[in-house]
Amino acid sequence: MSSRIAQGGAINRQQVCRFTFDGAGYSGYAGDSLASALLANDIRLVGRSFKYHRPRGILSAGSEEPNALVELRSGARREPNTRATDIELYDGLEATSQNRWPSLKFDVQAINGLFSPLFVAGFYYKTFMWPASFWEKVYEPLIRRAAGLGRAALEADPDHYEKSWAHCDVLVIGAGPAGLAAALTAARTGARVILADENFVLGGRCLAERRTIDGQPAADWAAQAIAELRSMPDVRLFPRTTVFGVFDDGVYGAVERVNDHLPVPPEFQPRQRVWRFIAKQAVLASGAIERPLVFGNNDLPGVMLAGAVRTYLNRYAVLPGRRAVVFTDNDDGWTTAADLVAAGGQVAAIVDSREPVIVSELARRFPDIQAIAGEVNGARGGRHVESVEVTSRTGTSHRIDCNLVAMSGGWSPTLHLTSHKGNRPRWDEERSIFVPDMLPTGMRVAGAANGDMTLGEALVTGFRQGLTAAASCGFSGSMPALPRVTEESARRVPLWRVRQALGKCFVDFQNDVTTDDVELAEHEGYRSIEHLKRYTTLGMATDQGKTSGVTGIALLAQRRSIPVAATGTTTFRPPYTPVAMGALAGHHRGMDFRPTRYAPSHRWASELGASFTESGPWLRAQWFPRAGETDWFEPTCREVKAVRSTVGLCDVSTLGKIDVQGPDALKFIERLYANNFATLAVGRTRYGIMLREDGFMFDDGTAARLAENRYLITTTTAHAVQVYQHMHLCHQTLWPELDVQFVSVTDQWAQFAVAGPRSRALLQRVLDPRCDLSNEAFPFMACGEVALRNGEPARLFRISFSGELAYEIAVPGHRGDALIRTLHDAGQDLGVVPYGLEALNVLRVEKGHVVGSELNGQTTAHDLGFGRMLSTQKDFIGSVLGRRANLIDPARPRLVGIKTVDRNAKLAGGMHFIPQHAQRSIEHDQGHVTSVCYSPILEQWIGLGLLTNGPDRHGEKVMVVDPLRGAETLVEICSPVFIDPEGARLRG
Amino acid sequence: MADALHFTYSPGRLGRREGAPGLVLQELTQFALASVIARKGQAAQAVGAAQRAFGASPPTTPTIAAGSDIAFVWSGPGHWLALGPQSTESFEARLGTVFGTHASVFDQSGSRVLLELRGPRVRDVLAKGVSIDLHPRAFRTGDVAVTTASHLAVHLWQVADEPVYRLLVVRTWFDSLWRWLAASAAEYGCEVMAPTPYTL
Amino acid sequence: MRIPCPHCGPRTHEEFTYYGDATVRRPSATGPDAEAAFYDYVYTRDNPCGLHRELWFHQGGCHEWLVVERDTRNHDIKGAVPARSVFSADDAT
Ligand SMILES: [Zn+2]
């Protein structure tokens, strides 16, 4: 650990952390980042660049890092593109360099650099254009192997992620000096405060600088501030938490890396947690990001941001290079030189691009450092910087040996979050920085994020903004005494690129975008900053141009000879730094992807070995296989036959049920349904159809008149929620004058179909013997309250979806399991058979009942044979537009039944109707097949379809064609009611 | 009991085993439940009728009002859930007699599962799926929220300052709610208590 | 986005279902130009840039329809009132 400084730093030298990088073992200390530990171990070469595979090292000390991206961990936990600069070192950490083959030091694709003319701006668009057929097989695999940023794990992520909400009065984003100051003043008023910082230690640049606050080291001041905040009950501190997005109305997205600092999260703990902070006010104290300078080979390992050098020196006690050249266009660079000297490093020279008068004034304050007014033309070295070429203002050139170049192009406010809602920052010409302009409602900015770069300004603005934010939430407090701080200066004369460069000058390191690329793009007409971004890829990928954006804009402005303000910025969008998809999904993955709804008979059905299928949110039994039945076909046919010959049981609780009461219940129902309900007597049920206001079919179901002013209506399973909302919409906005009350009782009633010739016999065994089920007492479409043998109340409906004598019996939801078992047990000698969704479907197709495939949003009542049901005596939803000529045109595709002419032929849903001798083309398309099934009763495939002029074509033979799978067969058009068209069975 | 559906509600410890549980969870059973919706223009009369009969005024804000043996949980304007002990008598009929022409009553006794939640981390657990602010400055004993927990519709109310919450969830969705609750409480440890009959 | 439900308090938009324009009114079904009026009511919509009154249903809360005033440019919500009050007031006038 040769580059570790003997003393100091916020690291715990008692706690050694062993780690591997590209398989070799190293060690660092708790408190290190991976980057600082690598530097301490003299590892400078960390990765290869995206396009040219150039050697890259560590540029920064934070989340802005474009170069030092590594794969973290291995196997299923392998995570690509993690930034070595903000990975917290832990014992057992495994990291692997990316983008190199076969090894980091000998990368065969570094030859890409020699062919760099191929890889200039727009190279994707130019190189891989032709022939188009090459794209999938040649170009894309080639690009993916050559470029790309790391490899994702191939196995499922073994860890879990969570989402959570947190509320506060004041959210403070960033826990540097400004953020801590804001949190302190806000919290002292009694406001609820959340303080979040992306780093694993709170304190920001207080940890990285040799500055004092009221005479004590800034880090100590920060520690005291954090201790005070921690002691307050209504303050929540979130280290390791990146606020990545600002959303509407005070909602902030954040990701907390709960256990990323451990090899494996402790049992039961999430790896990461996505927070949604809901804050009345927010103080953005996200600091600033230093800009690289643009000179030749400025991407060589060993060329670092000057502020990052200070972080490594002061926070991590690492000397990133023994002999440094500092290259700066501002005063802050001089602080780095001073810190290097203080840490025992050697500063070969400080090269300041500004006027000699400024340089010599500063040089007087740093007598030990050789100061050159001039510029660095280029860095030299193979896999690491070895020297720099410097030209002074007087024209003399030097080569200066060094193994560290600390560069400072000034600091850009980290203002991304101010513009997530669409506001653009404003260019401050005087300071040559973008500063926040219009802010999201409730947001304030403090410190360097607002362009107030010095420690003193950060503290003052932080205190003030924290206080005003709290005041906006109704809390009052006072400004603390302003602390005395080390003096500093943020003077700068921007140097966007050096005048004379040796070698490639990189603007965007992550995307290998050079000054030449920017010029070429401009030359080729990509003059808008948004076009420049897409054409050159400047500002794309994981870092989104954090270090390169402003320089790119300035260079474009320079090239176009327009002011920077006229160039504008690209749009900042969430997330600020990448967020794992797993974290965004949280708990909702796998079988928790969305909630599952279980029918009341679920447990009973699973005990019987039922196969289940998803039906909307519900999990419903598909069929109930018996021993020896291996597919869906056998049990389905058996179940259908049982219903038609003995008796079957089916859970139909999933249908939507809405209980409607009140003096105007009938009026309400009449306006909702297209058919007449005025004549429905108490104790009777009627089939009803609802239209949408545009005249198309909305839903169908039944309405049972339970009492004078009480109706129970059912909806399809699929439309239950929409119908319920629709009813509220109608009541609350169209007819608020109606005295009607209704609620969903879908869950209150477990409801089972008891269907088949022996259904009456089965029910008589289950119901109170006094209950008369005769045709006279309880005819088809009757309904009423009944009692079970044990006295429990139930509701009985004599309705049939199967066309058989059938009933539906309902009991309160928590009694459903008991009832289905009672029914099943009681009917054993009657041959009772549970049936599932497949059999239900066959039964209804045989009977010509429509479901979702026919109620597809494009069919009208006339299409489905309900035209005569439409009342002409009343206004109802859809009554006016449903009468439109085009909607009742007989030539529309209308409901028919179909059966195959060849009794062995099969049918598939979605087949198209084509006249028998016509060409199989779209011009001859006459509709499509909506539902098909094998009818075990008719012993052939049958179906329902929507056919032009369908009802007038019974008996005609038409082709049904499936061009996708190359199938076709001849069918005979018939009535959609295949079984018992007179309805004798269901009235039996 | 809630276990007629997919999973088995069984008493015992879930998640972290060491230390005191962060969440204590108990199903409350044997309650009667009904929706009560005031007739048009009759909300005040409905409230008066309940006050006379049960000693509880159905609230006009999202709170719960408890009377002798029946509590009214606000559910919307002029809309309440009446919660009482299970009995052989029909709850709907009992309420119907009291409210007469002032409100419509709908039995819901079989539609929901009722849970009681307490423990030092109960707010942290709920925050993983409930978007409303449960801080004592924002939500107090007696307050009710008709909201969603992990995307599922729930009624949530606070019954004690400790805090203790009750969560009423639709029965057929309960399995998904349970999976979310168990996953969310796992890091703190969760003690599932044997179901107990509901009391006010 | 959060919507201040006048009954439940401020809630995240995930609890709500969007419906659309709250300024259109269902025409009479009996007039001679009923079909044209309904056509207009169902299909013709303004698409304002700026404040818009919209119907939202508090599906995850009180089950009330709300008239929400939203700025279509930035999703700022100016307020929400019960639809019942808005549509009943219409009747009165
Ligand atoms: Zn609401």
What is the distance in A from the centroid of ligand 1 to the CA of A513?
52
Encode pLDDT of A313-361 as tens digits: 999 999 999 999 999 999 999 999 999 999 999 999 999 999 999 999 9
A544: left (phi over 0), alpha (psi -120 to 50) or beta: left
> What's the CA gap between A160 and A590, in Å, rounded?
11
Mean pLDDT of chain A: 94
- List the single residue in B with minimal CA-CA distance to A268: B187
Give the pLDDT band of residue A114 (cuts 50, 70, 90). Answer: low
Nearest to A813 among B171, B176, B177 (CB): B171
**pLDDT at position A127:** 58
A613, amino acid identity: T
Nearest to C12 among B79, B131, B153 (CB): B131
ipTM of the assembly? 0.97
Mean of pLDDT values over A635-641: 98
Whether A104 has a pLDDT exceeding 80, the answer reads no
Encode pLDDT of A490-518 as tens digits: 899 999 999 999 999 999 998 889 999 99
**pLDDT at position A149:** 67
**pLDDT at position A130:** 58
Residues of A whose CB is below 8 A from C57: 725, 728-729
Q: Report strand pairing: A957-962 vs A967-974.
A: antiparallel
Please confirm whether the linkage preceding A131 is cis (ω < 30° from 0). yes
- List the single residue in A with minimal CA-CA distance to B16: A268
Who's near B111: CB < 8 A, 6+ residues apart?
Answer: A745, A746, A747, A748, A812, A813, B33, B170, B171
Q: Cα torsion at A341, A345, A349, A351 (round to 10°)? A: -80
Which class in CATH covers the domain with range B31-107? alpha beta
Domains, chain C, in order of start with CATH, read 2-24+42-92 (3.30.2270.10)
Encode pLDDT of A870-917 as tens digits: 999 999 999 999 999 999 999 999 999 999 999 999 999 999 999 999
**pLDDT at position A140:** 61
Q: Which of A9-18, A515-524, A757-766, B78-87 bottoms out in mean pLDDT, i.e. has the lowest? A: A515-524
A724, A732, A734, best to mutate vs chain C, most C CBs in 10 Å: A732
Residues of B whose CB is below 8 A from C64: 76-77
- Which is higher by pLDDT, A986 or B6? A986
**A164 in helix, strand or coil?**
strand
Tokens of C85: 């009050």
What is the distance in A from the centroid of ligand 1 to the CA of C67?
12
Q: Which CATH architecture has domain B2-29+111-197?
A: 2-Layer Sandwich (3.30)
What is the distance in A from the centroid of ligand 1 to the CA of B98?
27
How far does the CA of residue B49 sit from the closest CA of chain C (Å)? 23
Nearest to C74 among A278, A421, A733 (CB): A421
**pLDDT at position A529:** 87
Which of A323, A306, A302 shows the shortest CA–CA distance to A382?
A302
Nearest to A729 among C19, C29, C30 (CB): C19
- Which is higher by pLDDT, A37 or A130? A37
What is the distance in A from the centroid of ligand 1 to the CA of B47?
20
Point out which residues pair with A277 in neighbouring strands: A166, A252
Interface partners of chain C (CB pairs < 8 Å, 3 or more) are A, B
Whether B172 has a pLDDT exceeding 70, the answer reads yes
Whether A138 has a pLDDT exceeding 70, the answer reads no
Nearest to B146 among C12, C62, C82 (CB): C62
Domain ranges of chain B: 2-29+111-197, 31-107
Identify the sign of the CA torsion A43, A44, A46, A52: negative
**pLDDT at position C89:** 75
Who's near A964: CB < 8 A, 6+ residues apart?
Answer: none
Give the pLDDT band of residue A109 (cuts 50, 70, 90). Answer: low
- List the single residue in C with minimal CA-CA distance to B146: C61
Rounded to 5°, angle at Cα A462 from A340 and A283: 115
**pLDDT at position A144:** 57
Radius of gyration of chain A (CA): 38
What is the distance in A from the centroid of ligand 1 to the CA of B154?
13
Encode pLDDT of A803-857 as tens digits: 999 999 999 999 999 999 999 999 999 999 999 999 999 999 999 999 999 999 9
**pLDDT at position A574:** 94
Encode pLDDT of A548-572 as tens digits: 999 999 999 999 999 999 988 878 9
Encode pLDDT of A358-388 as tens digits: 999 999 988 888 999 999 999 999 999 999 9
Q: How far from A720 is each of A651, A713, A845, A852, CA to CA, in Å?
A: 16, 11, 22, 12
How far does the CA of residue B16 sit from the closest CA of chain C (Å)? 31
Question: Do the chains contact at B109 and A748, CB–CB below 8 Å?
Answer: yes
Mean of pLDDT values over A68-79: 93
- List the single residue in C with minimal CA-CA distance to B76: C62
**pLDDT at position A501:** 95
Exposed, middle or buried: residue A940 (CB in 10 Å: 0-12, 13-18, 19+)? middle
Q: At residue A623, what are phi and psi to the nearest 5 degrees?
A: -160, 165
Residues of B whose CB is below 8 A from A598: 5-6, 172, 175
H-helix or E-strand containing B31?
A: strand B31-38
Encode pLDDT of A649-691 as tens digits: 999 999 999 999 999 999 999 999 999 999 999 999 999 999 9
> What's the CA gap between A163 and A669, in Å, rounded?
43
Same fold flag, B2-29+111-197 and B31-107: no
**pLDDT at position B3:** 47
Chain centre distance of CA A910: 33
DSSP E strands, A503-576: 506-508, 513-514
Is some CB atom of chain C closer than 8 A to the CB atom of B62? yes
Question: Do the chains contact at C65 and A721, CB–CB below 8 Å?
Answer: no
Question: Do the chains contact at A728 and C87, CB–CB below 8 Å?
Answer: no
> What's the CA gap between A38 and A29, in Å, rounded?
11
**pLDDT at position A366:** 85
